[in-house]
Structure 1
Amino acid sequence: MITIGIDPHKSSLTAVALDETGQLLATRRITVNAAAYKTLTGWAVSWPQRRFAVEGAACLGRGIAQLLAAAGENVVGVPATLASRARLLDTGGTRKTDAADAASVAHAALRHKRLRPVAAENDHTRLRLLSERRDDLARERVRLLNRLHVLLRDLIPGGAALDLTADKAAALLRSVPPVTATDSCRRDLARDMIADLRHLDRRLHANQTQTRQVLAETHSTIVDMRGVGHLIAAKVLGHVGDITRFPNADHFASYAGTSPLEASSGERRRHRLNPTGNRQLNTALHTIALVQARDPGPGRVYYQRKLAEGKTPAEARRALKRRLTNVLYRHLTRDQLKLTTGRVDTQRRS
């Protein structure tokens, strides 16, 4: 098996081929353009038994990694920190060249047995993009509403209510005619902001509709959990991706940042908040925990039991989040098993 390490850049990528013993076979520098993929695979065609290792396969190397994965190539992603450590061990120094970096990526892939395979983008990737876009639009809407509140406060005695919408703001403007030229300027600016607000509302609605459609295509059962709406489900599926990359629920909890950290002192045994892990996924689980702790059901029973054991409300919520992480892991694992079984059955029938 030949390992081809790739060090990607914006305008070029460097590929280095190593044999099973780590000996250098060939090096190639390729300009990143429309023909880069064909050039790379054409160069690598002389090694039928090959594996590609791409540094930063989730960021700068995403483009070439996805093209290779979509073509059915064996591709793994190598974190930049792991590649830099491999370079330090191999050379004993920190001097960098593109060829040396690509060789370090290949060496890391040769030695590390648990690198994450690169999977072709699917519905989960679309859900993550839609979820991130909704977060951007929601933040922009909040910023716009805050600016609109400032203008309305100066135009209208007492300002506007907190639950301000575009229609309410327009009605308030019509009810108070401007007195001075400055007030007329404020009114015109407020009208522009109301138009922008309506535009953002339409885009948020379109995003929500598209998210529902993509979520329906996944046939995920996590929406059956209490507190998991289509927006939370999209965020969870988008950030988790392939659940099979987590060997068990404990690894998944570590990724989600719901594994409590021990903070014991003397005879007192206690745990505290875990600030690591995927914070977007952690936020989604926090929302689910708040809903389940509030509404009647097994989640609230578990939360009340932790309070009765002497835990603070924050500690009880963290315990509930950890419990919900296991439930979520089981849902995602079952969904993946059904999907895999369905594919196998389809292949057998064909």
Structure 2
Amino acid sequence: MVVIGIDPHKRSHTAVAVDAVGRKLSQLTVPSDDNGLLRLWAWAARFGPDRRWAVEDGRGIAARLVRTLIGQGAVVVWVPPKLMAQCRASARTRGKSDPIDALAIARAAVREPDLPTAHLDDDAADLRLLSDRREYLVKARTAAVNQLRWHLHDLAPHLDAPGRLTGPRQLDRLATALSGLTAGVRRDLALDLVTDIRRLGEQIRQLDKQLAALVTPLAPALLAIVGINVVTAAKILGEVAGVTRFRSAAAFAMHTGVAPIPVWSSNRPQYRLNRGGNRQLNACLHRIVITQLSHSAEAKAWRQRWIARRPNATGKAALRALKRHLADVVYRALHADHQHQLASAA
């Protein structure tokens, strides 16, 4: 079998082909346009039908490339950047370049035969795009609110009430109060910011409705978990991009970065925090765990039982263990939703 590793970029893609033991066979750099993808496919044809493609999991950069390859019937696996970096560091080649990275990606795919397989999932792609857009709008609104507070502190500190300056009624009252102040550049800027915050808030609400319309029929079991709302479910579905590409719950937990890493030798077993995996999914699981510890008696009882069996365990260790447990719960819910979709389509 030949594995073709690709280091994707916005303007070019570099591919390196290796054999079953990781020996470099050939390399090619092509533009990331349609002609470049055709050249890449024609170049790969020389290695016969028994070939596999490995692409670095760059957020958004490789999406068009992977869609094209899958559309041609290719088998494509995602290689995490951290795994690629480890393979590059372990090689005898010094330095960093696109061919070096592509070679490391190919060798990582050879070394790890059970990497997640990419596939076309239009619903997941739409949810990921909408979730990213919502996050951008929320960040922009937060920045506008912070600027507004600084202006209010200088204009009229009593208007900078505690709490969030995002509600429509609160913004209407604030705009009325600002209009009554003496005209000036700072007051005008504050009014502009109020308008921006109102506009961003409306866009966020519209996105929430759009996400709810997409997520509700896709993930009833996922939404039934305490701590998961429409926004969190959309984020999980978009980042997972098909739960069937994971061979087991353990593989899913490793992908989310909640699988503990052993750090002991000749003494009692110890584990440390896993800083790898998909950090977007990891953040989702963390928020769900924090919510469950406040609102779910079952989660509190699970943590207490875990601590009772380990008297020397720390609170952070218990939190990490609960996240690992929750990854299994989410994995089972995603599988249940997938089976529900299959039954509905039948």
Which bracket does the TM-score occupy, shorter chain normalised?
A: 0.7 to 0.9
- Report 1 or 2 for greater relative contact order, CA contacts < 8 Å, sequence distance ≥ 6: 2
CA distance in 1, matches of 2:318, 2:231: 25
RMSD (CA atoms): 4.0
Check whether the contact 2:4–2:53 (CA below 8 A) recurs between aligned residues. yes
- Tell me the equivalent position of 1:72: 73
- Tell me the equivalent position of 2:158: 158
Rate the CA distance shift 1:49–1:228 in 2: closer, same or farther, 3 A.
same
Check whether the contact 2:3–2:17 (CA below 8 A) recurs between aligned residues. yes
Aligned length: 339
CA distance in 2, matches of 1:159, 1:72: 61
CA distance in 2, matches of 1:139, 1:70: 35
SS of alignment partner, residue 120 of structure 2: coil
- Quote how far apart the aligned CAs of 1:102 are: 5.2
Task: Give CA deviations for 1:183-222 in whole Å, capped at 9, x if unaligned.
Answer: x322211111111111101110121122112213524411
CA distance in 2, matches of 1:303, 1:19: 48
Q: Give the letter for the 1:234 counterpart.
A: A
SS of alignment partner, residue 159 of structure 2: coil
Check whether the contact 1:152–1:159 (CA below 8 A) recurs between aligned residues. yes
Provide the TM-score with structure 1 as the length reference: 0.77
SS of alignment partner, residue 221 of structure 1: helix
Rate the CA distance shift 1:26–1:307 in 2: closer, same or farther, 3 A.
closer
- Quote how far apart the aligned CAs of 1:83 are: 8.1
Pairing 1:333–2:317 present: no
- Quote how far apart the aligned CAs of 1:225 are: 1.0
Identity across aligned pairs (percent)?
33
Q: Give the letter for the 1:178 counterpart.
A: L
CA distance in 2, matches of 1:230, 1:326: 20
Rate the CA distance shift 1:144–1:263 in 2: closer, same or farther, 3 A.
same
Task: Give CA deviations for 1:5-28 in whole Å, capped at 9, x if unaligned.
Answer: 445444333445566687877665
SS of alignment partner, residue 36 of structure 1: helix
- Quote how far apart the aligned CAs of 1:233 are: 0.9
- Rg (Cα) greater in structure: 1
- Tell me the equivalent position of 1:120: 120
Rate the CA distance shift 1:53–1:162 in 2: closer, same or farther, 3 A.
same
CA distance in 2, matches of 1:269, 1:20: 35
Check whether the contact 1:148–1:190 (CA below 8 A) recurs between aligned residues. yes
Task: Give CA deviations for 1:149-182 in whole Å, capped at 9, x if unaligned.
Answer: 2222333352322232354244234346334x5x
CA distance in 2, matches of 1:10, 1:254: 28
Rate the CA distance shift 1:87–1:323 in 2: closer, same or farther, 3 A.
closer
- Tell me the equivalent position of 1:320: 322
Unaligned stretches of 5+ residues in structure 1: none
Unaligned stretches of 5+ residues in structure 2: none
- Quote how far apart the aligned CAs of 1:294 are: 2.2
CA distance in 1, matches of 2:88, 2:271: 35
Check whether the contact 1:88–1:94 (CA below 8 A) recurs between aligned residues. no
Task: Give CA deviations for 1:291-332 in whole Å, capped at 9, x if unaligned.
Answer: 322235422333455577766655544443333222112112
CA distance in 2, matches of 1:272, 1:83: 21
- Tell me the equivalent position of 2:255: 255
CA distance in 1, matches of 2:262, 2:21: 42
SS of alignment partner, residue 258 of structure 1: coil
Deviates more, 1:220-229 or 1:240-249: 240-249
Deviates more, 1:271-280 or 1:152-161: 271-280
- Tell me the equivalent position of 2:170: 168
Provide the TM-score with structure 2 as the length reference: 0.78
Deviates more, 1:267-276 or 1:231-240: 267-276
Pairing 1:144–2:144 present: yes
Q: Give the letter for the 2:69 counterpart.
A: L
CA distance in 1, matches of 2:262, 2:28: 49
Check whether the contact 2:87–2:107 (CA below 8 A) recurs between aligned residues. no
Q: Give the letter for the 1:65 counterpart.
A: V
Task: Give CA deviations for 1:214-240 in whole Å, capped at 9, x if unaligned.
Answer: 213524411011221101111222222
Deviates more, 1:35-44 or 1:191-200: 35-44
Check whether the contact 2:31–2:37 (CA below 8 A) recurs between aligned residues. no
Rate the CA distance shift 1:154–1:20 in 2: closer, same or farther, 3 A.
closer
Task: Give CA deviations for 1:228-272 in whole Å, capped at 9, x if unaligned.
Answer: 1101111222222332343333333333333456789x9998866
CA distance in 2, matches of 1:126, 1:283: 20
Check whether the contact 2:79–2:105 (CA below 8 A) recurs between aligned residues. yes
CA distance in 2, matches of 1:104, 1:173: 57
